[in-house]
Structure 1
Amino acid sequence: MTATGAAPARTYRNHARPAWRRALLNREAAIIAILVIVYVVSLAVVPNFSGPLTITYLLRDVAPILLIALPMTLIIVTEEIDLSVASVVGLSSVLTGLLTQAGVPFLWAAVVAVLAGALAGVLNGFLVTVVGLPSLAVTIGTLALFRGIAVGLLGTTAITEFPEEWTSFARSNIPGTPVPTIMVAFAVLAVVFAVVLHFTPFGRALFAIGLNKEAAAFSGIDVGRSKFLLFVASGAVSAFAGVYFTLLYSNARGDNAMGLELQIIAAVLLGGVSIFGGRGAMHGVIAGVLLIGTLGSALRLANVTSDIINVITGLLLVFSVISSSLLAWVHDRRAAAIGRRRGVSAPSSRTP
């Protein structure tokens, strides 16, 4: 508690350290280092991991996670969450399949699916920012709602007929490389989201909201509008990922991407975004996604079952939350010790 009896304020980390230490001695750099180590070890010990198609299939598999992790990062930075993203992927897949089956040109079917995803985000954003409901409760509800609509529209059947030029495009690589073409779209979106988060007033406002939304509102930030836009972006990007998912596997089903939200949230938190909001970096999130994808690919090639891989993903999620809290505790203890030596009371922080 402070001298006035108010709750301790959440603050950014002390930036008195040299720039090279801030750049290299942080969670994001650690995740990148672990990613490199896991990749090198997998090359050395996992059969067939060094094959020419490993990079291609790995990036194809993680592409939907990479895409959805971009808006999810911004949402969690504001201390909110969107658990409905995988259901939006399934709903987008079903809409794309049904419209294509009905004779609608595929491009227009995809546009409608993305717009439907944006409308799903509008519903989430309205319930969270206008009605004032907790995002955890809202998106658990819409997770079931959107999945139910998807399964209700298509039942237990699947649509597998899609235009050959589009499925071939979804499975194609950048000429002369093993990198899938979808990575071009991801790179563009990643640059946009990274610039917005780290180099614009809007991005600084998101960090301020995550640290203390009341203080952010008093400083003139439209908290509700900012969060609303993030949920709409999350819905639209999730729907786009659903269109890609459908083309990649030539399969539109209501249960597509079931459970994908666990991998997305695990990757975002593993990449250094604080579940308490106010902290995160886009490069750390991308490294977190690639780490989970590389680990999963290596384990599958080593004949580890999907159940065990899911257990490992869950453990990584728990580790991400615990490690963030532990680092915050260590930071607070260190700040308190420095404050005692200087004879002043150091503010507490819930973010490392």
Structure 2
Amino acid sequence: MTSLDTAPASPAATSAPRTYRNYGHPLWRRILVSREAAVIGALILVIVVSSGVVRNFGSPITMTYLLLDVAPILLIALPMTLIIITGEIDLSVASIVGLSSVLLGTLTQGGMPIELAALVAIIVGALGGALNGFLITVVGLPSLAVTIGTLALYRGLAVGLLGTTAVTDFPEFWTDLAKSKLGDTGVPAIVIPFLVLAVIFAVLLHFTPFGRGIFAIGQSSEAATFSGVHVNRTKLILFVLSGAVSAFAGLYYTLRFGSARGDNATGLELQVIAAVLLGGVSIFGGRGALHGVIAGVLLIGVLASALRLANVTSDVINIITGVLLVLSVVYSSFLTWLQKKRQKPGGNRKSPPRTATS
């Protein structure tokens, strides 16, 4: 009689599962042969070509304004990366930027010290992220539907608080600080808080059990739950971080331009998501790296800056950004399809064990 070991495997058991990156390859190959490396290479290529073709592109003042422009996107992209790796999305980030801008303007106009007003704005942003996380993790609603709704809610609150007017009376010290540079380098001072946050998020994502749980959730939330990962708590924390960082980006946005308006940063969420996906993060969750996302943000910023210097209209720049977003999603799906086609039928199936007879 043949034992149960000889029973044929079910189709589900032999199908290729979603897996982490193959760490069996050498370190140099994992670094150089990756989507993140391709984005970094494209960034270097665009910088070199733009410097030779576009007049004044390589000047220090152009680089300064480039970093000033992409700073809010760089900041918001940090928590957005972690959220998308879990398989969720947050479309309310730009409206939180606008809400924090309005809060900073109205509170300082009412006599509150700007430092305290900034703290209140960040707390409100964190609470907005907590509301998103609560509706997604506790109520069980899809993140796309929730954050589309809160996008309209937070933007409506911002416009309702301030109307169509703008607050422009801010302390000169803070507006100058938002636009200041590090000595004679031409590097904006906002780079310092960004680097601090980037290190924190990179360590959190890539070097802690919490970060491994984020990747596990993106691979399979059910498997992550059975592995001991607190799925709902992890997602809630990420949405709170997204709200707080978005509010901080709103403070910088307001002080840099010296204007608090309810429509500040309208449409910024699309640029953030485009940069994150372009940086190698899978829209389906489960993979991504922060250095690729940072390169993706800079790539979009460099392209936009070069095109503006070449007198290309903003509409064309938006079209190019949209094309990059579509191509990044299609490219990710194409690679997944190609990997499946290259797998041999039954390639993951182990050889049948020796049977026991009676």
- TM-score, scaled relative to structure 1: 0.95
**The one of 66, 79, 93 aligned to 2:74:** 66
1:202 CA drift (Å) = 0.2
Q: Is structure 2 residue 185 aligned with structure 1 residue 177? A: yes
Tell me the distance in 2 between the aligned counterparts of 1:13 and 1:240: 33
Deviates more, 1:11-20 or 1:165-174: 11-20
Tell me the distance in 2 between the aligned counterparts of 1:308 and 1:106: 38
Q: Is structure 2 residue 56 aligned with structure 1 residue 56? A: no
Q: Is structure 2 residue 139 aligned with structure 1 residue 139? A: no
Q: Is structure 2 residue 167 aligned with structure 1 residue 159? A: yes
**The one of 11, 26, 38 aligned to 1:18:** 26
1:350 equivalent in structure 2: none
Deviations 1:125-173 (A, max 9, x none): 0000000000000000000000000011111111111000000000001
2:354 equivalent in structure 1: none
Tell me the distance in 1 between the aligned counterparts of 2:197 and 2:327: 28
Tell me the distance in 2 between the aligned counterparts of 1:235 and 1:310: 25
Cα distance 1:150–1:343, how it changes in 2: closer, same or farther (>3 A)?
closer
Letter in 2 for 1:211: Q
Q: Is structure 2 residue 236 aligned with structure 1 residue 231? A: no
**The one of 191, 200, 206 aligned to 2:199:** 191
Structure-to-structure mapping, 1:1-352, within 5 angstroms: 3-6=9-12, 8=15, 9-334=17-342, 336-337=343-344, 344=349
1:19 CA drift (Å) = 2.0
1:349 equivalent in structure 2: none
Query: Matched residue of 2:261: which SS?
Result: coil
Max Rg structure: 2
Tell me the distance in 2 between the aligned counterparts of 1:181 and 1:15: 38
Tell me the distance in 1 between the aligned counterparts of 2:44 and 2:180: 26
Aligned identity (percent) is 69
Q: What stretches of structure 2 of length at least 5 have no aligned partner? A: 1-7, 351-358
Letter in 2 for 1:3: A
CA RMSD of aligned residues (A): 1.3
Deviations 1:286-318 (A, max 9, x none): 000000000000001111111111111111110
Letter in 2 for 1:161: D
1:348 equivalent in structure 2: none
Query: Matched residue of 2:165: which SS?
Result: coil
Deviations 1:246-302 (A, max 9, x none): 000001000000000000000000000000100000000000000000000000111
- TM-score, scaled relative to structure 2: 0.93
Tell me the distance in 2 between the aligned counterparts of 1:73 and 1:262: 13
Q: What stretches of structure 1 of length at least 5 have no aligned partner? A: 346-352
Cα distance 1:108–1:13, how it changes in 2: closer, same or farther (>3 A)?
same
Deviates more, 1:171-180 or 1:85-94: 171-180
Letter in 1 for 2:319: V
Deviations 1:67-96 (A, max 9, x none): 000000000000000000000000000000
1:343 CA drift (Å) = 8.0
1:3 CA drift (Å) = 3.2
Aligned length: 341
Query: Matched residue of 1:53: which SS?
Result: helix
1:15 CA drift (Å) = 2.8
Query: Matched residue of 1:256: which SS?
Result: coil
Tell me the distance in 2 between the aligned counterparts of 1:284 and 1:326: 19
Deviations 1:14-57 (A, max 9, x none): 33322211110110000000000001111101112122201110
Tell me the distance in 1 between the aligned counterparts of 2:190 and 2:251: 11
Cα distance 1:343–1:5, how it changes in 2: closer, same or farther (>3 A)?
closer
Deviations 1:199-237 (A, max 9, x none): 000000000000000000011111000000000000000
